[in-house]
Amino acid sequence: SSQMIGILLLFISLCFDGGTGAYEDKLMSVHSVQPFDLMYNIQLGKTILAGVSLLVLNQLHIFVQMCQEMGFLLIALGLSGAMGQVFIFVTIAKFGALTCSIIGLARKITTLLASIYFYGHHLNGIQVSGLVISVTAMVMNFMGKSKKGGHGHGNHEQQTKEEESEEIRKILADYHDEEEDDDGDVELAGAQK
C-alpha cells in the first residue's frame, strides 16, 4: 500500500517536472522572459505560498524555532539550492528544456549509482529493470537530440546570428557595388573633360 502511494507520488512528481521545464522553456522563448526574472518570480511565488501556509496552519512558531536552531544549515541549504536553480534556468535558456531534463536525469542516475556502490545496497529485479529503462531513455534522448542538431534557445540564437550575418554581407555587397558604379561615373566624367 505505501509502495503504491510512493509510486503514485513519484509519477506525479515526474509529470510536474516534465511539464514545468517545457512551460519555462516556452516562457523564455515565446514571451522573451529572462532566466533570472523567471527564477525570481518563481521563488517569490514559493515564498508567498510557504508564508501563507505557515500562517494558515499555525506553524509560524515552529518555523522560527527551526531557524534559531539550524540557522547556518538553512543558509547553506538555501545557497546550494539557489546555485542549483541558477544552473537549471541558464541551461533552459541556453539549451532548452530537453537538455535540462537529460542533465537532471543523468545527475539522478549518477547519485543513485553512487549510493548503490558506496553503501552496498542490493537491487531486486524490478529496481534493476527500472534503472536500465532510465539509462536507456537518457541515452536515446541524448542521441535523438544530437541527430536533430539540438534544441533550445542556443540553436535559435545561432540561427538568428547567421541570418544577421547574411543580411550584413548583402548590405556590404550592395554598398560595394554602388561604390564601383560611383567610381565608374567619376572616371567617365574625367574622360569627358
pTM score of the predicted model? 0.57
Q: What is the pLDDT of residue 191?
A: 47
Amino acid at 157: E
User: What DSSP designation does 120 have?
Assistant: T
Q: What is the pLDDT of residue 193?
A: 47
Q: List CB contacts of 53: < 8 A, sequence separation 6 or more.
A: 59
Chain mean pLDDT for the chain: 79
> Grid coordinates 537491487 are at which residue?
123
pLDDT at 107 over 80: yes
CA 34 to chain CA centroid, Å, is 12
pLDDT digits (tens, 9 = 90+) for 61-105: 999 999 999 989 999 998 998 898 888 888 888 888 778 878 888
**All 3 cell numbers of residue 176?**
560595394
pLDDT digits (tens, 9 = 90+) for 9-43: 888 887 887 777 778 878 877 888 888 888 888 88
Q: What is the pLDDT of residue 143?
A: 79
Q: What is the pLDDT of residue 165?
A: 67
Q: What is the pLDDT of residue 48?
A: 96
Q: What is the pLDDT of residue 119?
A: 93
pLDDT digits (tens, 9 = 90+) for 157-183: 555 566 666 666 776 666 666 555 555
Q: What is the pLDDT of residue 190?
A: 46
- Considering only residues 145 and 130, tell me which one the structure prediction assigns the higher pLDDT: 130
